[in-house]
Structure 1
């Protein structure tokens, strides 16, 4: 039987298959060229999540399971840190105490900044003026000092009781940071200020509402870092609800965030069926979802990404 599909349809289908193969195989040289140029020129803003601390601190899921086991959490969603934190707040009737418990679990020492593949060290070596993180730790600040820079830190003032370094942001160092004296901006608070930590569902709701209600809580230098530069997400997972909530909230308050092409490093699913014909392709599905935010996915480990990035930057 003759093939009844028109040439244009077959060509379109072939291009789609080639594109899928490109996205799920080796990362194209064109993506590396763009990213290395942006990193060398300071036109990229690193955006760190909990996975960046995988050698030193528990992930969000590990922390959640640890707290759930220790305090007798009775439900199945033990990987959901916000849900476990909500229950602990109900149990102890004190959000401050729950944040203290979390701080205690995250009191480990810093990573090995002498390891060139350590992600904080990798990023600290780059000529970047602004770094953004949802992590509570100060590892990025410490890594920048380790390589001889003079960094500053500030916190997003999502509620009125946060000491957010407002005076710093009014100085030249705060509103015009430079690669040798960069700014590390903590969107979700810091361990040193437990009240600043976005942890429970109520915290996330208040944080999101604050972004929409008062866009000025994000200072101009951070708005520029989010909208005028590409973003490099390190330490977030495919199903990371924190990541999706943050990006949607920022997109609502800062529509310009989707003008640039961004990159996110993600682990390839262990039980992926991308090569089979039964059921949806996990990686293709998530690539499609993240494409709505103009986020390209590098499928691999942080170590694999760090090693290849250093090689392409000529730092091996």
Structure 2
């Protein structure tokens, strides 16, 4: 909301020669989806009456034009009621979504199939970076900082694309510098959020160690509830593009009963060997050829690398191209049990942005796999893949387009909302309380 400084209200003109009055349309022109500006001085009394009504109405359905109309009606007896004006780029007038499936009736139909597949162990969660933004910050934030700090000179629309900005940094400096900066960004985010509670002994800890320590402090927070809910699911395989160990740590905290004895799950962590430097990494499938992923010993497969293996991280544009070329030309880069799960189970996408490189590369590599016909036997869900109103000119149109695209490509139902929204609803429907009781 852009508000001109409030005045006495007796004099509607301003002392800025119209500069501030022009700010609203310029913000809208620059891409801000909705701007409330003032055409002149607004009294504090009018602002005090207008703003609560506006935001109260906006929270109801995200319909900014309707909220504006109701709020202006609430101050119609004021002499400066006409001062607030709305500049908007949204054809629908809506700046957000109510969490849920695009077609609520279809959503209600899809839940039973998804739950049955989970209970039968026929579901494969694919966890994206959005699931850990509460701790590590978003990739867009990292990209924007780098673009500002290192003078990213290319298309300004790419300032929030981490692969593009990381590519520039790797070329302008070198790859090791880019990786060092990524470590610094992760450490900085964790310290900013949890630094005052972390023990001094962790001052020189690696990013992976720091993330684990911070996650241990955040056990009761909504962010970790995402991973706790996923870890309690009776599933043998998890696929993740998160570089940290939040998921595997959460799995280790879940008790299961094996032959009448209680013990914690023992996740096996693997990383995709998408480049030659990773060929010598040890693998459970070479060390224990009898290993088969199970609920007791689930496989956590990191598609785009791990923090403790910097060479495995897929960050730059070149990394994504090389990764896609590698996994499409050499099936063995992804273990056969994971390949089978991607084409012969219900897929549950969590924490991706539809226009992000990681999701686009991941999605195409899955869709193009052999045996995809078997995937038609399952109900798939893409949760919290939500176009942001602040970045999309027409969210409703984007929503319709994306629903059509994913229905056509892979019969995927989209749940619009946050990762926490979906996992909370999932836990509720599975009758899994967040304390682990049924």
**Distance apart, 1:29 and its partner CA:** 2.4
Which residue pairs with 1:60 in the alignment? 139
SS of equivalent to 1:287: helix
**Residues 136-177 of structure 1, C-alpha deviation per residue, up to 9 Å, x if partnerless?**
111111111122321110111101211675431135587411
**Distance apart, 1:271 and its partner CA:** 4.3
Q: What is the rounded CA distance, in whole Å, between the counterparts of 1:105 and 1:279 in structure 2? A: 30
Which residue pairs with 2:175 in the alignment? 95
Which residue pairs with 2:431 in the alignment? 314
**Residues 85-113 of structure 1, C-alpha deviation per residue, up to 9 Å, x if partnerless?**
11101211x21221221122223334333
CA 1:264–1:22: 2 relative to 1, 3 Å:
closer
Q: What TM-score, normalized to structure 2? A: 0.61
Q: Pick from 245, 253, 261: which aligns with 2:379?
A: 261
Which residue pairs with 1:113 in the alignment? 219
Cα RMSD (Å) = 2.5
Q: What is the rounded CA distance, in whole Å, between the counterparts of 1:149 and 1:215 in structure 2? A: 29
Q: What is the rounded CA distance, in whole Å, between the counterparts of 2:276 and 2:323 in structure 1? A: 11
CA 1:190–1:227: 2 relative to 1, 3 Å:
same
Structure possessing the higher radius of gyration over alpha carbons: 2
**Distance apart, 1:115 and its partner CA:** 4.2
Q: Do 1:113 and 1:146's aligned partners in 2 also have CA atoms closer than 8 Å? A: no
Which residue pairs with 1:10 in the alignment? none
Equivalent positions of 1:289-300 (< 5 A) are 289-291=405-407, 292-300=409-417
Which residue pairs with 1:136 in the alignment? 243
CA 1:142–1:22: 2 relative to 1, 3 Å:
closer
CA 1:154–1:195: 2 relative to 1, 3 Å:
same
Q: What is the rounded CA distance, in whole Å, between the counterparts of 1:99 and 1:206 in structure 2? A: 17
SS of equivalent to 2:276: coil
SS of equivalent to 1:65: helix
**Distance apart, 1:67 and its partner CA:** 2.0
Q: Pick from 29, 44, 49: which aligns with 2:128?
A: 49
User: Can you give the 5+ residue segments of structure 1 that lack an aligned partner in the other structure?
Assistant: 1-20, 273-277
**Distance apart, 1:38 and its partner CA:** 1.3
Q: Pick from 123, 132, 145: which aligns with 2:252?
A: 145
**Distance apart, 1:192 and its partner CA:** 0.4
Q: What is the rounded CA distance, in whole Å, between the counterparts of 1:116 and 1:181 in structure 2? A: 26
Matched residue count: 290
Which residue pairs with 1:28 in the alignment? 107
User: Can you give the 5+ residue segments of structure 2 that lack an aligned partner in the other structure?
Assistant: 1-99, 191-210, 255-263, 434-438
